[in-house]
Copies of this chain bind each other. A is one copy, B any other.
Amino acid sequence: MTHYKLALLGFGNVGRALAQLLMRKRTELKERYGITYSVTGIATGRHGYAINPSGIDLDGALDLFRTGRTLDLLSKVKVSNSLDFIRQCGADVLFENSPVNYETGQPAIDHVRTALELGMHVATANKGTVVHAYHELKALASQKGRKFFFESTVMDGAPIFSLFRGALPGAQLKAFRAILNSTTNLILTRMENGDTFDGAVKYAQEIGIAETDPSGDIDGWDAAIKVAALATVLMDIPLKPQDIDRTGIREVTPAMIAAAKAEGKRYKLICTAEKDGTSVRGKVAPELVPLTSPFASVEGTTSIIEFQTDVLGNLTLIENDPGPHTTAYGLLADFINAVT
């Protein structure tokens, strides 16, 4: 039996889902993997910091959060900021779930770097760390004999990175094709059913899928950062979101969608990457997909990715109904894989 001290940096939807999943899986972790754990630190964005070397009561922390009180009430230690939190939390594993910064990857990169330097394993759902610092952080982790894992950065908790790390040894990824952004997928579906572009955007905002400024989704930036992350890790060629040939869905008109529907086709925002020697061509653009393709069956927040390798026929993964709980599972899987 091995005991691990865990710290949660970020206690939003994903962080709280992770706390619940950890509680639900406590017995299974013990029986299947010989793992026991205590959570010695929780850092929130606006509800303070808690550090307790003897372990924080997760139900108590969730309750404080729910009732709008500060987690400082649970802390044995005074914490001044997130880096101070990492230095004082005394954890073996840091779950890094601060908000994504698409342009610089900060402050998440500093969080990961600090934790690795202190000898912690790190699991993160933050794409910024992968597209802006993958090679540096991977090298640092390796030098420290620790793991830097990030399964939840693309397609939530669906096993993408771990698939190539373990289940597909000796396979070379040559290309992939995917639908990775749910907001645009939802907007295009609404437009097929007669809604206008603006109406569909408004609907996506109302149900909480699209941001107040929806341009990150609509102009393809979210899809581009995911293509960059996948290419950087799985094809081992660093790629930035700006390197992606990117077209959003603003130019797709209701008339184009109706014409496509009449020929039995659907518009989807398709992500592709193709490796060519030592370079990768990445692209995000609306494409017509025939109804006979599994890509046409992808609705709402569901994601799909088709991998082309040198050893198998095309291999496709579809993840249905992702959410904070599936992102949380990806983080738990990273933890288990890091320590077993």
Contact = CB atoms under 8 A, between A and B. Distances in A.
Interface of A: 21, 25, 28-29, 32-33, 156-159, 162-163, 165-172, 291-294, 296-297, 302, 306, 311-323, 325-326, 329, 332-333, 336-337, 340
B29 A158 contact: no
How many copies of this chain does one complex carry? 2
Contacts of A306: 318
A319 B311 contact: no
A169 B340 contact: yes
B314 A170 contact: no
A35 to B, nearest CB: 9
A33 B28 CA distance: 32
B157 A336 contact: no
A212 to B, nearest CB: 26
B317 A32 contact: no
Contacts of A315: 158-159, 317-320
Given A167-B166, A169-B340, A297-B292, A312 B319 contact: yes
A47 B340 CA distance: 45
B316 A169 contact: no
B317 A313 contact: no
A317 B316 contact: yes
A294 B33 CA distance: 35
5 contacts: A166-B166, A166-B337, A312-B322, A313-B326, A315-B317
A171 B297 contact: no
A159 B316 CA distance: 11
A325 B168 CA distance: 15
A312 B157 contact: yes
A28 B168 CA distance: 14
A20 B152 CA distance: 36
A333 B170 contact: yes
A25 B169 CA distance: 11
A167 B157 contact: no
B291 A291 contact: yes
Nearest to A158: B315
Contact of A293 (B21, B293, B297): B297
B33 A170 contact: yes
A169 B293 contact: no
A288 to B, nearest CB: 16
B157 A329 contact: no
Given A163-B163, A294-B297, A297-B292, A320 B313 contact: yes
B170 A311 contact: no
Contacts of A169: 33, 333, 336-337, 340
A17 to B, nearest CB: 11
